[in-house]
Amino acid sequence: MPSIGAVTIWNFYKMNDWRKIIFLDIDGVMASIPYLCKGKGYIDPQKCKLLNTLEDIGVEIVISSSWGYDNGRTEKSLRDCGLTLPIIGYTQHLHFNWEWACRGNEIEKWILDNFKGMGTMWGYDDEGVSYHRHHPHDTDIDYEYVIFDDGEDMLLGQKDNFIKIHDYQGITKRDINKARKILTRNGSTNKSSPPQKQD
């Protein structure tokens, strides 16, 4: 029986527990001008339906909109319009305290606070798989992410994860396909289970 290197085994388990996050703006992303003109509401149910097509790879949502946390009203609106993907958090509005802070800073802080990693890529491991941590053998959570936003105030290191949305039409199937490619580029196509809390 051929031997399997420890790094190869480590990569096998890593790829099957990869967290996949979408940082989701609302204005110009989940709303489209044509839908708004119909007078049926703000969030377009068809945009929620498009996002739901990423359920098979275990995508989770972090709301990064200027709407921010509003006692759950944004989440309720998304649910009422058909979104079924898990919503696991909101980014903090740093610009209230620091005028220089941009959307990219807010996303980077969420990643640091929750995954102990950096949103920018640090390098490649022994198998050529990119990672976002300080060292490929650190115990930080493995993850990949996409930013859906109609703005452009992101960090330079986020450019390969940023999908600019046209604010007239909102997200499209093409944007979803781009996101799928980014979220699975490390070989992970399976749903991942969020880490369980230890008693």
Which residues are paired to 59 by β-bridges?
A: 20
**pLDDT for 23-47, tens place per residue?**
999 999 998 899 999 988 999 999 9
Spacing of C-alpha 72 from chain mean position: 19
Reported residue count of the chain is 199
User: What average pLDDT does this structure show over 134-146?
Assistant: 66
**pLDDT for 78-91, tens place per residue?**
999 999 999 999 99
**DSSP conformational letter for 91:** -
Please give the backbone phi and psi of residue 100, each rounded to the nearest 5 degrees, phi first.
-80, -15
- Rounded CA gap, 85 and 17, in Å? 17
Angle value at C-alpha 95, between 22 and 97, nearest 5 degrees: 130
- Rounded CA gap, 62 and 21, in Å? 7
Residue 173 makes CB contacts below 8 A (sequence gap 6+) with 50
- Rounded CA gap, 136 and 11, in Å? 10
18-183 is classed in which CATH architecture? 3-Layer(aba) Sandwich (3.40)
Domain boundaries, the chain: 18-183
The pTM (predicted TM-score) of the whole model is 0.77
